[in-house]
Structure 1
Amino acid sequence: MKKGEVPQEGGYLEKARMTEVLYVTDENDRYTTEKSSGWDAKNSALDESMALIEERVQAAKTQVKNGTASPIHYFMEMNKMDWNVLAAYVGKWAWFVKADAKPKNFARLSDKNLQKYADAFGIPADELKNFDGN
């Protein structure tokens, strides 16, 4: 793609005040970079991905409200993490994290462990501990 042909069709990247860096060729056929605010195909894919993420977040929130999941699950989804990523952040095996995310186990977590999760999510431990899905 030539430098002057980079699409600037807006969409999700523009709404988030972000750009994507693409490799393009300049007038001397040398590779350089150019910023793009997106194009239709990319915008459609991003919109669909964000909608799926929002569905997962809302489902986790409902599960917390119903008492079938702990706040760990909600904040993990909210931060676009999976079990392995969260486990790496808190320094535990993924199966320990899954166990901690069960409501009964979550209620028994020590303040030290709650703080590890809160730090991973970038929130105060009290917010994590007291989140009820509302």
Structure 2
Amino acid sequence: MFEDVRLQGKILMEMATFLGDSYVKPVSIALVIQDLGGTEETFSNVLAKTSQLVHMNDISQYTLADFKAFYQKLEPEVFDDVNDVIIVKILNGLSIMYIDDLYPIAKNITLTYQLDNKIPGI
């Protein structure tokens, strides 16, 4: 199996960032993308296109299904048949580490998902 060294570097950087944040449940977006079969290019594409979506559109009414469809269209080979928890983790990780303006939407989607599925925490 080919290991993407650049992606593994991002995984380590993200995990190191969370070491001092005891109140945050660590989520490495790079690790999630690697687990889905993605590469560093996938990671960069997800980060860039999500940032573009957030800053160029009104996403205040976006739902989990909207983001899931967005990622499936963006990287179909990686996000095909991905479950909702993965999308929630990606949104949370992006909002905490990379895209501050995504935070209120990610928080709302997470709370809604937790309530709908009776999950205590993600």
- Tell me the TM-score normalised to structure 1 length: 0.30
Alignment TM-score, normalising by the size of structure 2: 0.32
Task: Name the structure where helix makes up a greater proportion of residues.
Answer: 2
